[in-house]
Homo-oligomer: A and B are copies of this chain.
Amino acid sequence: MDESRPAGSQDEIVTAAFVVIGDEILSGRTKDKNIGYLADYLTAIGIDLCEVRIVPDIAERIVDAVNDLRTRYTYVFTSGGIGPTHDDITADSIAQAFGVPIDHDPRAVAILKNFYPEGQLTEARLRMARIPEGAELIENSVSKAPGFRIGNVHVMAGIPAIMQAMLDAIAPTLRTGRKMLSHTVDVDLPESRIAAGLKAAQDAHGGVLIGSYPRSIDGRFSTQVVVRARDETLLRSAVAAVEAAVEAAGART
């Protein structure tokens, strides 16, 4: 175990929510690439992503989402709205959500001063050093302007390369729980043919999540059955039950 990572009980469930901030996602102009990335990342380190919200660049909506989610989940992550332009209102909105002042942070100003050539640290760029009082900075190895963490809320940039770099910087500080294990059974039948067997397997295995995901490829329906559990013995038992059900339905697995 990484010694810099806070010890998490192997029985603890650690949860998270993600708030994607940006008009451009809601208008369709930009297609989000951060949700899938964060989902994979958190699952891999033993944190359950439980909810995602996409909200517009409106302070009240950001405040409401963050305040609603930060009391419900271990961690909240946000992406977007921390750049230098007038529509970047995330830092101010987070300060408002926590009821704390916001100003240019000397640590962030020093980072930007060190990065930009003499005389090029304009007022707009200094805007990226506005950090709510009491927050810790999150390193940005790509373009320097930092993200920040306040309470259990982690504020990251929206550009995928920068968000990913910030997430790498955050990960060692996160408490993580027992990882969700997963096994997929591919079935060459539509899910309605195996539904009864899957339900029986689910009913017989508390603590296991059996998901059935239909697919349509060139008009032909098949199914992926995903079995998830934190305990490996339980997982194997449920997978065996699913495979037996599928075989009974006459499908190859």
Binds B, one of A34-42, A100-108, A131-139: A34-42
Partner of A83, one of B48, B159, B191: B191
A108 to chain B, nearest CB (A): 14
- A83-B39 in contact (CB<8A): no
Partner of A26, one of B26, B50, B56, B61: B50
Residues of B close to A83: CB separation below 8 A: 191-192, 212, 214
Residues of B close to A39: CB separation below 8 A: 25-28
Cα distance A50–B212 in the bound complex, in angstroms:
30
- A216-B51 in contact (CB<8A): no
The closest CB in chain B to the CB of A68 belongs to B68
- A122-B213 in contact (CB<8A): no
- B49-A27 in contact (CB<8A): yes
Interface string of A186-225 (1 = CB under 8 A from B): 0000011111101100110000011111111000010000
Cα distance A226–B161 in the bound complex, in angstroms:
21
- A162-B54 in contact (CB<8A): no
Binds B, one of A1-9, A84-92, A232-240: A84-92
Interface string of A2-45 (1 = CB under 8 A from B): 00000000000000000010011111111110011001111100
Partner of A36, one of B32, B43, B221: B32
- B159-A211 in contact (CB<8A): no
Known: A27-B49, A86-B202, A128-B192. 13 other contacts (CB 8 A): A24-B213, A25-B39, A26-B50, A28-B36, A51-B53, A51-B55, A52-B53, A85-B195, A86-B210, A87-B210, A123-B196, A125-B195, A159-B216
CB within 8 Å of B: which residues of A? 20, 23-32, 35-36, 39-43, 48-57, 61, 83-88, 122-125, 127-128, 142-143, 159, 161-162, 180, 182, 191-196, 198-199, 202-203, 209-216, 221, 226, 228
